[in-house]
A and B are shown apart, each in its own frame.
Chain A
Amino acid sequence: AQKVTQAQTEISVVEKEDVTLDCVYETRDTTYYLFWYKQPPSGELVFLIRRNSFDEQNEISGRYSWNFQKSTSSFNFTITASQVVDSAVYFCALGGRASGTYKYIFGTGTRLKVLA
């Protein structure tokens, strides 16, 4: 079965602190994709990153970085020098064909509050 776990329900940090959002997944697929989305208060999900299962290279985009480790089935997301505008709910998602039909499974989200 496919599953995505975001154990951190809510995190509060002070501006300029670094913060890591955890994501652990389960799948029997050998080929799959992992995603992170940001959901600001407006409600729209904003695509942040996609990784495929064959590419374990870490990625950095500005203040954002992602650490993909197949050995621990984790795809963690770090925000460096957090800002108030980073306050949002962040979702990790898994896409794959475990049951024959392509499916997306989302985690329950982590609410990040960055305090000024």
Chain B
Amino acid sequence: EAGVTQSPTHLIKTRGQQATLRCSPISGHTSVYWYQQALGLGLQFLLWYDEGEERNRGNFPPRFSGRQFPNYSSELNVNALELEDSALYLCASSFREYEQYFGPGTRLTVT
């Protein structure tokens, strides 16, 4: 069974640009979670999508947004990039809310 996949692996952007990160969940999983892991820090919850709806949002500004498509894949958009947005962005999927399986992450570098 294929795991959670994320693309791209690495993304380099300049300050002020927009970044789009993608996540494909494990087949049969309807929920997708996004986390930010800045260098040396733990995981900070960003967004949770389930059945196409945003269910919960972490303490991040509105320029962090996303969506979930009918096939349950998801996109995370970060507008007006700032240097501190440089981080590893991890996506996780679940079928039942108490199990999360993580993808390999997208490393975003903002210069």
Residues on A facing B (Cβ under 8 Å): 33, 35, 37, 42-47, 50, 52, 91, 95, 101-109
Contact = CB atoms under 8 A, between A and B. Distances in A.
A108 B39 CA distance: 11
Contacts of B92: 45
Interface residues of B, number: 22
Nearest to A108: B42
B41 interface: yes
Contact of A107 (B42, B88, B101): B42
Interface of B: 33, 35, 41-43, 45, 48, 55-56, 88, 90, 92, 97-105, 107
B42 A109 contact: yes
B104 A44 contact: yes
Given A103-B56, A104-B33, A45 B102 contact: yes
Nearest to B98: A33
Nearest to A111: B40
Contacts of A46: 102
